[in-house]
């Protein structure tokens, strides 16, 4: 039995979830691994436990080591390589996208079957996704370093603040201190002691200022810049009918039998899928350059769209003066594959202690549309050429995501997608049968003629509102 689209979507979402790292909820909070080089050239590597105003506390080889700030020359923050994980996730996402593209686009130049197209698409795009993931992991996995010695105090203080957020002490939840116990009232025989502040203590202490560019820095070690998402979308089904004039003629006849003869054409357009038919939604990749803004890329396949022309071919023969008529019905089914790039604003941004994320975004890019003709043989089989074109596409979106663990979220989204193909200059040709006007349509036709029909301009629409669910992973 052929699997439904919903089953395919569920399998893809489940595969992505199973591919994510396990044990995230129970992960022990640890400080960053760093390498500190002293002024004398010696170095020490260990876990950053705490950052004091004048020193760093490290756990190195099972021992606590304190290094004075005045002795620090350079600090290197060791990042765990994400190349393998990104290669696996990129390969899985690329393979899923390739299978979907192969089933919908068919890769006719490579394979003559849907199964062959799916295998080729999954292998080719999966390999490309794995390579891109590996390269991204290598580029983002470089260890940042900072030279403390010789820097201005303001620069060194900003780096010290960043280090504090990466320490084990900085990753622990902030707990408000318990209120101090009130002292017992003095006995009646005791004289109260007046406590005065030392003059130095009465000097106002400046509040710690936020480092310059703090919004551009990750708000904590639990925050990841790269997000990969897979979704299931439910686009709204739409349909519309319009009327316009076209004409037909007989290319093998002489004037005046040649024509052309003006006809009225009914034009129907439908998006195919509706809110009760779920399909694989966009596969997205987002990179956050700060807490509130991200660059987004997505690939989306939408199929089932169709447009058709219907008309009655009527004319008066110049040979015998009789009225003859025939029928015409022809159209296209289409698949749109859009590749979009855009930006999103996150007014409520995900962070190490923030599980909610709200997104408002827009994107634009090309949509690859493939039109496959279909017809009815009620009066003759006509032919229209298949086509593959590139058209502009865009979408707006609002979404909400809840992070049930620091790196994995489940959310929903809604929006509107624009993608249309204007069909102009279409000519259908075929051997059509004609009957005398009023004759029994079940009787054999009076004659058959090669007929060409010039069709009015018509739109093949993939535009629709949509809602959907998505699962995402930050890496």
| Spatial distance between the Cα atoms of 57 and 260, rounded to a whole number of angstroms | 91
CB crowding 56-69: b at 16 or more within 10 Å, else e: bbbbeeeeeeebee
Q: What is the pLDDT of residues 266-280, one digit of tens each?
A: 988 877 544 345 677
Tally of CA atoms within 13 A in the half-sphere of 395 that contains its CB = 30
Q: What is the pLDDT of residues 154-192, one digit of tens each?
A: 777 888 877 887 788 766 655 545 555 555 555 544 454
The pairing of strands 72-78 and 145-147 is: antiparallel
Range 226-253 average pLDDT: 86
Q: What is the pLDDT of residues 405-463, one digit of tens each?
A: 878 888 889 999 998 888 888 888 888 889 988 888 778 888 889 999 999 988 888 88
Residues of the chain with pLDDT > 70, as a percent, come to 70
Q: What is the pLDDT of residue 92?
A: 78
| Spatial distance between the Cα atoms of 434 and 59, rounded to a whole number of angstroms | 92
List the domains of the chain with CATH numbers: 5-20+29-147 (2.30.30.100), 226-474 (2.40.160)
Range 72-96 average pLDDT: 75
286 — pLDDT class (breaks 50, 70, 90): very high
| Spatial distance between the Cα atoms of 344 and 347, rounded to a whole number of angstroms | 10
Select from 435, 437, 428, 305 the least CA-distant residue to 376: 428
Supply the pTM of this predicted model.
Answer: 0.54
Top pLDDT among 388 and 134 is at: 388
Top pLDDT among 123 and 398 is at: 398
Q: What is the pLDDT of residue 424?
A: 87
Mean predicted lDDT score pLDDT of the chain:
76
DSSP collapsed to 3 states, the chain = CCCCHHHHHHHHHHHHHHHCCCCCCCCCCCCCEEEEEECCCCEEEEEEEEEECCEEEEEECCEEEEEEHHHEEEEEEECCCCHHHHHHHHHHHHHHHHHHHHHHHCCCCCCCCHHHHHHHHHHHHHHHHHHHHHHHHHHHCCCCEEECCCCCHHHHHHHHHHHHHHCHHHHCCCCCCCCCCCCCCCCCCCCCCCCCCCHHHHCCCCCCCCCCCHHHCCCCCCCCCEEEEEEEEEECCCEEEEEEEEEEECCCCCCCCCCCEEEEEEEEEECCCCCCCCEEEEEEEEEECCCCEEEEEEEEEEEEEEEEEEEEEEEECCCCCCEEEEEEEEEEEEEEEEEEEEEEECCCCCECCECEEEEEEEEEEEEEEEEEEEECCCCCCEECCCEEEEEEEEEEEEEEEEEEECCEEEEEEEEEEEEEEEECCCEEEEEEEEEECCCCCCCCCCEEEEEEEECCCEEEECCEEEEEEEEEEEC
Residues of the chain with pLDDT > 90, as a percent, come to 17
């Amino acid at each position: 039995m052929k699997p439904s689209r919903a089953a395919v979507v569920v399998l893809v979402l489940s595969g992505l979830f199973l591919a994510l790292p396990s044990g995230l909820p129970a992960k022990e909070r640890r400080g960053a691994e760093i390498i500190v080089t002293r002024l004398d050239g010696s170095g020490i590597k260990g876990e950053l436990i705490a950052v004091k105003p004048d020193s760093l506390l490290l756990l190195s080889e099972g021992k606590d080591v304190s290094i004075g700030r005045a002795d620090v020359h350079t600090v290197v923050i060791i990042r765990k390589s994400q190349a393998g994980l990104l290669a696996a996730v990129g390969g899985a996402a690329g393979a899923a996208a390739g299978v979907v593209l192969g089933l919908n686009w068919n890769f006719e130049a490579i394979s003559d079957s849907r199964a062959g197209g799916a295998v080729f698409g999954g292998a080719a795009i999966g390999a490309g996704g794995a390579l891109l993931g590996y390269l991204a992991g290598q580029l983002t996995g470089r260890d940042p370093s900072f030279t403390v010695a010789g820097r201005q105090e303001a620069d060194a203080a900003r780096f010290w603040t960043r280090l504090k957020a990466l320490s084990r002490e900085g990753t622990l939840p902030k707990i408000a201190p318990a209120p101090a116990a009130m002292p017992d009232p003095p006995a009646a025989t005791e004289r109260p002691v007046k406590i005065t502040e030392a003059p130095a203590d009465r000097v106002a202490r400046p509040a710690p200022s936020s480092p310059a560019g703090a919004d551009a820095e990750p708000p904590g070690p639990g925050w990841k810049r790269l997000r990969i998402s897979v979704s299931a979308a439910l686009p709204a089904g739409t349909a519309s009918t319009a009327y316009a004039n076209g004409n037909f003629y007989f290319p093998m006849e002489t004037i005046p039998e040649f024509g052309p003869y003006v006809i009225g054409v009914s034009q129907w357009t439908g998006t195919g899928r509706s809110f009760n038919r779920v399909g694989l939604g966009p596969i997205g990749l987002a990179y956050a350059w700060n807490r509130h803004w991200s660059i987004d890329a997505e690939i989306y396949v939408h199929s089932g769209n169709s447009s058709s022309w219907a008309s009655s071919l009527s004319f008066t023969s110049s040979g015998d003066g009789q009225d003859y008529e025939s029928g015409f019905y022809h159209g296209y089914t289409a698949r749109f594959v859009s590749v979009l790039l855009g930006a999103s604003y996150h007014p409520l941004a995900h962070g190490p202690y923030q599980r909610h994320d709200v997104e408002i975004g827009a994107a634009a890019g090309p949509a690859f549309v493939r039109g496959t003709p279909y017809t009815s043989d009620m009066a003759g089989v006509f032919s229209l050429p298949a086509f593959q074109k590139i058209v502009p596409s865009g979408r707006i979106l609002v979404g909400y995501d809840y992070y049930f663990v620091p790196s994995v979220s489940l959310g929903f989204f809604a929006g509107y997608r624009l993608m249309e193909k204007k069909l102009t200059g279409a000519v259908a040709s075929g051997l059509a049968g004609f009957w005398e006007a009023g004759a029994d349509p079940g009787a054999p036709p009076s004659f058959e003629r090669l007929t060409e029909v010039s069709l009015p301009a018509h739109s093949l629409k993939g535009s629709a509102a949509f809602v959907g669910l998505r699962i995402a992973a930050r890496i």
